[in-house]
Amino acid sequence: MIRVLIVDDEDLSRQALKNLLQESGDVEIMGECRNGFEAVESIPRLKPDLVFLDIQMPQLNGFDVVELLEEPAPAVIFVTAFDEYALKAFEASALDYLLKPVQAERLAKALEKYYRQTAGLKPVSFAPFIESHQAHSAPLARILVRDGQKIHIVPTTDIMYVKAEDDYVMLHTAQKALLKLERLSRLEKMLDYRTFCRIHRSFLLNIVYLDKIAACSKESRLAVLKNGAKLPISRQGYRSLQKILNDEKRLSRSID
Amino acid sequence: MISSPLFRSRNHLVFLGLLGALISAGIVFFFTAAAQATVREAVLLLLPALTLEMFLGLFSWYLCRFLPLEGPRLANTFAAHFLTGLLVNAFWLTSIFLYSQLLDQLFETRSWSALYDRALFFLAGIGLGLYVIFILLHYLVLALEKTQAAEQEALQQKWLASEAELNALKNTIHPHLIFNSLAMLPPLIAAAPQQAELLVGRLSDFLLYNLRYSKKTTVPLHEELQHVKDFLEIETLRLNERLRVEYRIDPSVLNEPVIPFILQPLVENAIKHGIRTTLDGGTLAIAMTIAPAFIQVMIRNPYEKNSASGKSSGLGLETLRKRLAGAYGAAGRLRILQDQNEFTVEMQIPRQRQVL
């Protein structure tokens, strides 16, 4: 008996899949989620074996849900509507997906593959897929942070600076500070290099929020932010900062 | 001189060569009669002179380009051409005079300067005449170029509009809608056959409209509205209570003629990039009002700016904008207003009985 969770924002899509799964027998439907938030909340609680995950959902799409899942994550079969972007993402990966309308034979094949994998064949990992998906959508427009039960969607334009904290990063916005499991160097690569500057080994600054650069001794400088916060600037960081600021100046001049 | 348009293509060059040869032959013939000279003598004296005249004439291109043959400064143009004409002719005659002195030194068979004196008035007339011909030719070319540029511009406009038409036509095929509707059918057939029937009916009406009106230039607005209602009924089956629609329509707009397929792209956008990006859905408001000169359509929807999917490429709106411009010119307007969580599109269409 496979314990299954269905995630889809459309009532009819969930119904269609439920009908097909019930006909295929050996399946227990543990629940249904109407959006990504519900899915991220339900999956650790219900611990399904297999999740049918829709891609096109409001706010958190299927890719976001997978990114937010904590280990051990269940097996996932993606379900997607006719969408060129999503289809391209799948074709570039080895992941299984079902195209809507889901057909009985295709579903049977996907379930069969799931059985083979749980019977000892190595399970497919999402990590490389998610990473390449993120790399393709760089620069990131938003960052997802899971804070216990709560999920924050942080637009990158709201981030003033990011501080490295061991294996985590702390995202500082005007309102709050959020901890995310991520390496600063990887985050730096995914953010817009024209606005985010690595001013220090442990700090990534959004130059939009920079007020001025203060010299505090011969060799060390401080970035003073518009809200008054002060961040250290390393020598290497000062060079990158100057480069970004110059590029920006040139750009704004060419627009004038 | 090379920039003279008379030199621009090989055809021009051949034509001018032939014309030049013909005119030169004529001049030589008349010169022999007017100055009692042999053909050989005439050629010897006139060939370098006519070559020089050609160069001088081609220089007038610059003058013609900067002195328009229209507008309030027409008198200036004529005065400038008259003065330069006199100067150029004086220069030309002086050159021939000096050349005849040279010939006196070289060939003592006859008095070349006496020949020049005898033919002075004839030469002056020829010089002025040729100069005038060059100026006329240059103005002719300028006028041709101007109409060509205007034609090209008109063609470009037309091409842009028809490109937008083609895009709009392509969009009427709606593979997404067909796929999504098909995906809804199996569960509907199982659970609510009447709704499955409704879906098939609305989808057929929707596609039928696309087939019927893709060739028409105008439709009454109420047919456009019906088209959108068919579409929205399909979407309501899909989104259930997440989609609420509110119509505020002044009944007097309904018979106004408009170009087809201007409402549906707006409504589709409002759902795809608006309603569907919000967790609990929202209200899609469609309003139409009428003014003496135009019809105003307003479509408003909520949207979630941090949503993953649903970022609009803006292509649909751009196509619509081009089509409006193609059909109505500057009077057909599309205005987009966006705030934190609401998106509004205002479309203005000029009223008229018939759009060509």
**Do A115 and A222 share a domain, yes or no?**
no
**Do A64 and A82 share a domain, yes or no?**
yes
Structure tokens at A137: 């959508």
Higher pLDDT residue, B68 or B130?
B130
For residue A211, what are the domain limits?
A: 140-255
**Do A11 and A117 share a domain, yes or no?**
yes
Q: Give the count of domains, chain A.
A: 2
pLDDT score for A196: 94
Amino acid at B351: R
Tens digit of pLDDT per residue, chain A (256 long)?
Answer: 899 999 999 999 999 999 999 988 789 999 999 999 999 999 999 999 999 999 989 989 898 898 888 878 888 999 998 777 777 777 767 677 899 889 999 999 999 888 887 775 555 667 777 776 766 666 888 899 988 888 999 999 999 999 999 889 999 999 999 999 899 998 998 899 889 999 999 999 999 999 999 888 777 899 999 999 999 999 999 999 999 988 888 777 766 5
Q: Which residues in chain A are contacts of B310 at CB distance < 8 A? A: 58
**Do A244 and A155 share a domain, yes or no?**
yes
Q: Which residue has the tokens 């959006």?
A: A35
Q: Looking at A102, A132, A162, which one is the last position of a domain? A: A132
Spatial CA neighbour of A227 closest among A174, A178, A186? A174
pLDDT category at B343 given cuts 50, 70, 90 is very high
Tell me the CATH number at A226. Answer: 2.40.50.1020
pLDDT score for B356: 43
Q: Which residues in chain A are contacts of B305 at CB distance < 8 A? A: 155
Interacting residues of B267 by C-beta distance below 8 A, sequence separation 6+:
B228, B231, B232, B284, B286, B299
**Do A144 and A240 share a domain, yes or no?**
yes
* Contacts with A, B 170-209, CB within 8 Å: 175-176, 179-180, 182-188, 190-191
* A59: closest chain B residue by CA: B307
pLDDT score for B1: 47
Spatial CA neighbour of A212 closest among A224, A203, A220? A224
Average pLDDT over residues B33-53: 83
**Do A96 and A166 share a domain, yes or no?**
no
Indicate whether B9 pLDDT > 80: no
User: Contact A58/B278, CB-based, under 8 Å?
Assistant: yes
User: Contact A16/B279, CB-based, under 8 Å?
Assistant: no
**Do A126 and A144 share a domain, yes or no?**
no
Q: Looking at A106, A132, A158, which one is the last position of a domain? A: A132
**Do A58 and A122 share a domain, yes or no?**
yes
Instruction: Give chain B's mean pLDDT.
Output: 86
* B179: closest chain A residue by CA: A82
**Do A28 and A56 share a domain, yes or no?**
yes
Tell me the CATH number at A16. Answer: 3.40.50.2300
User: Contact B183/A64, CB-based, under 8 Å?
Assistant: no
User: Contact B307/A58, CB-based, under 8 Å?
Assistant: yes
What is the C-alpha separation between B152 and B165, in angstroms, rounded? Answer: 20
What is the C-alpha separation between B285 and B15, in angstroms, rounded? Answer: 68
* B278: closest chain A residue by CA: A58
User: Contact A57/B277, CB-based, under 8 Å?
Assistant: no
Q: Looking at A78, A102, A132, which one is the last position of a domain? A: A132
ipTM associated with this complex: 0.79
DSSP state of A179: E
Helix and strand counts by DSSP (H, E) for chain B: 10, 7
Higher pLDDT residue, A228 or B164?
A228
* Contacts with B, A 220-239, CB within 8 Å: none
**Do A9 and A122 share a domain, yes or no?**
yes
Instruction: Summarize pLDDT for B137-157 with one digit per residue, the tens.
Output: 888 888 888 899 989 988 888
Average pLDDT over residues B95-108: 85
* B184: closest chain A residue by CA: A12
**Do A155 and A121 share a domain, yes or no?**
no
**Do A96 and A49 share a domain, yes or no?**
yes
Chain B contact present for A128, CB below 8 A: no
